[in-house]
Amino acid sequence: MPDDKSNSWEARAAAHTLYGFTDLPTVAARGTVVLTGGHGPYVTDVHGRDYLDANSGLWNMVAGFDPPGLIAAAQEAYGRFPGYHAFFGRMSDRTVELSEKLIAVSPFADGRVFYTNSGSEANDTLVKMLWFLNAQEGRPERRKILTRVNGYHGVTVVSASMTGKPYNSVFGLPLPGFVHLTCPHYWREGKEGESEAAFTARMAAELEEVIAREGAETIAAFVAEPVMGAGGVIPPSEGYFEAVLPILRKHGIAVISDEVICGLGRTGRAWGCETYGFVPDAIISSKALTAGLFPMGAVILGPELADRLHRASEAVEEFPHGFTASGHPVGCAIALKAIETILEGADGAPPLIDGVHRLTPGFEAGLARLAEHPHIGEWRGKGLMGALEAVQDKATKTPFPGHLSVSERIANACTDAGLICRPLGQAVVLCPPFILTEAQMDEMFGKLERALETVFAEVA
């Protein structure tokens, strides 16, 4: 630490930068962690201290913090064509190639891709596409969007309206026409004595009721993460997608898979929808799309929506939407390299998704072991995303009182020990880079276990 605290990195960070999703009193008390870079799954702060980042940044740095092949691809792309757009009938060659690649690795036989700078913008873009094409096709009332409580879809006005979190009420959101279904989390939402199959059937019945109440002809789409991420890593109850998809199909409601976290390997398959055995009408991608090296999102339309959008755009001459950096050539070059690195293997190395397969059994075993603790109510996860839910009383699943901020305390104790993990509600979430070694996984669980012991001793 520098002697002059007022001129420290921590003080300077606090002075002029606004944070996203940050508990300001905690930061005021603890100071900001100011980082200079990273290596492998570790990030390094201004004092030279390493932290194992068990959240891959924000779920996105799947190749770690110094992936040489990706950095070289970015450097080469900047040297070749440092910036362009995809407007007015022009786009870079790399943009063409990336769209071909994304369709090739998607579950779609054909389709088209629209590029954004983020996952939020990709969700907004998708909704605008549906509103636009339904209106052009003479169904302007088909505008409502169904999502789920605890689903996270972003922070822009539309994507925040899709997000099923109460915090958006501070903005007066959701907008009208955004309807949130029950979170399909059996452990938390299942009733006393209700089997998982009965719970899933109840979720399907609720969907039928909501469609009847709202009017199928007013609903444009159902948008769902295969595994909810920022809502607390919540895999759906057994048979959930098998139960809801036929209902949505019957009513002509588009099915959209928000794969911003699940996409490109995280759940063990290229896409989370593949893990859960369904083919949606469109996929929303971001994060691992560039392994976190470039801000980029994509709306990947399957053949039917792609054709309909194309026809609707022709009718009014254009689809009036796009971002200055849509299809940025450097972002596209990085994404091409990221997809190759994750799914196919690049520069003689095996594909990173092999790491997901290799690590998942140990990851699940580590979570299951920590879940034996009397104050962990359940562990849950899929592939390399997992969560441990803290409870005051395991038998009744009673959470700790909110003022104790249990998960934040656990995360803070982890940070003090050199491990970054994320508190979400009363859960602690782990979502490590795919390059983790077994020894680093042991380090992760060891540090987390000590943090749990310390905090539960304080609060229990």
Query: Which residues have CB under 8 Å from 29's CB, separation 6+?
Result: none
Q: How far is the CB of 230 from ligand PMP (least distance, A)?
A: 5
* Candidate list 32, 56, 95, 118; residue touching ligand PMP; CB under 6 A: 118
- How far, in Å, are 9, 127, 190, 310 from residue 88 at the CA level? 44, 22, 51, 15
Residues in contact with ligand PMP, shown as a per-residue x/- string from 377 to 406 under the rule CB under 6 A: ------------------------------
DSSP SS3 for 178? strand
Query: Of the listed pieces 224-232, 306-314, 344-352, 435-443, which binds ligand PMP according to CB under 6 A?
Result: 224-232
Query: Of the listed pieces 184-192, 255-263, 314-322, 385-393, which binds ligand PMP according to CB under 6 A?
Result: 255-263
* Candidate list 9, 65, 152, 178; residue touching ligand PMP; CB under 6 A: 152
Q: How far is the CB of 244 from ligand PMP (least distance, A)?
A: 18
DSSP string, 323-367: -TTTT-HHHHHHHHHHHIIIII--TTPPPHHHHHHHHHHHHHHHH
Across 34-177, where does the E strand assignment appear?
Answer: 35-39, 42-45, 50-53, 112-116, 144-148
Phi, psi of 239 (to 5 degrees): 80, 10
- Subset of 225-254 contacting ligand PMP (CB under 6 A): 225, 229-230
Q: How far is the CB of 388 from ligand PMP (least distance, A)?
A: 19
* Candidate list 64, 107, 154, 383; residue touching ligand PMP; CB under 6 A: 154
What is the identity of the amino acid at 141?
A: E
Query: Of the listed pieces 21-29, 103-111, 150-158, 205-213, which binds ligand PMP according to CB under 6 A?
Result: 150-158
- Among 56, 36, 54, smallest CA distance to 45 is for 36
Residues in contact with ligand PMP, shown as a per-residue x/- string from 273 to 312 under the rule CB under 6 A: -------------x--------------------------
Q: How far is the CB of 375 from ligand PMP (least distance, A)?
A: 27
Query: Which residues have CB under 8 Å from 275's CB, separation 6+?
Result: 226, 262, 267, 268, 269, 382, 383
Q: How far is the CB of 306 from ligand PMP (least distance, A)?
A: 21
Nearest residue (CB) to ligand PMP, 288 versus 391: 288
What b-and-e string marks burial along 13-28, b requiring 16 or more CB atoms within 10 Å of the CB? beeeeeeeeeeeeeee
The answer to whether 429 touches 382, Cβ cutoff 8 Å, is: no
Using rule CB under 6 A, residue 10 touches ligand PMP: no
Q: How far is the CB of 124 from ligand PMP (least distance, A)?
A: 9
Q: How far is the CB of 289 from ligand PMP (least distance, A)?
A: 10
Using rule CB under 6 A, residue 222 touches ligand PMP: no
In the chain, how long is the greatest CA-to-CA distance? Answer: 68
Nearest residue (CB) to ligand PMP, 149 versus 371: 149
Using rule CB under 6 A, residue 427 touches ligand PMP: no
Q: How far is the CB of 46 from ligand PMP (least distance, A)?
A: 25
Apex 61 CA angle, 57 and 64, nearest 5: 105
Q: What separation, in Å, do the N-terminal and C-terminal C-alpha atoms of the chain show? A: 34
Nearest residue (CB) to ligand PMP, 286 versus 392: 286
236 CA to centre of own chain:
15
DSSP string, 424-451: ETTEEEE---TT--HHHHHHHHHHHHHH
- How far, in Å, are 118, 158, 174, 301, 326 from residue 155 at the CA level? 10, 8, 11, 22, 19
Q: How far is the CB of 204 from ligand PMP (least distance, A)?
A: 22
Beta-sheet pairing, 427-430 with 385-390: antiparallel
Q: How far is the CB of 20 from ligand PMP (least distance, A)?
A: 9
Using rule CB under 6 A, residue 144 touches ligand PMP: no
Query: Of the listed pieces 81-89, 117-125, 167-175, 325-333, which binds ligand PMP according to CB under 6 A?
Result: 117-125
* Count of positions on this chain that bind ligand PMP (CB under 6 A): 14
Q: How far is the CB of 193 from ligand PMP (least distance, A)?
A: 33
Nearest residue (CB) to ligand PMP, 244 versus 452: 244
The answer to whether 109 touches 351, Cβ cutoff 8 Å, is: no
What would the two tokens of residue 323 be? Answer: 């971002």
Q: What residues does 198 pair with on adjacent strands? A: none
Contacting positions for ligand PMP (CB under 6 A):
118-120, 123, 152-154, 225, 229-230, 258, 260-261, 286
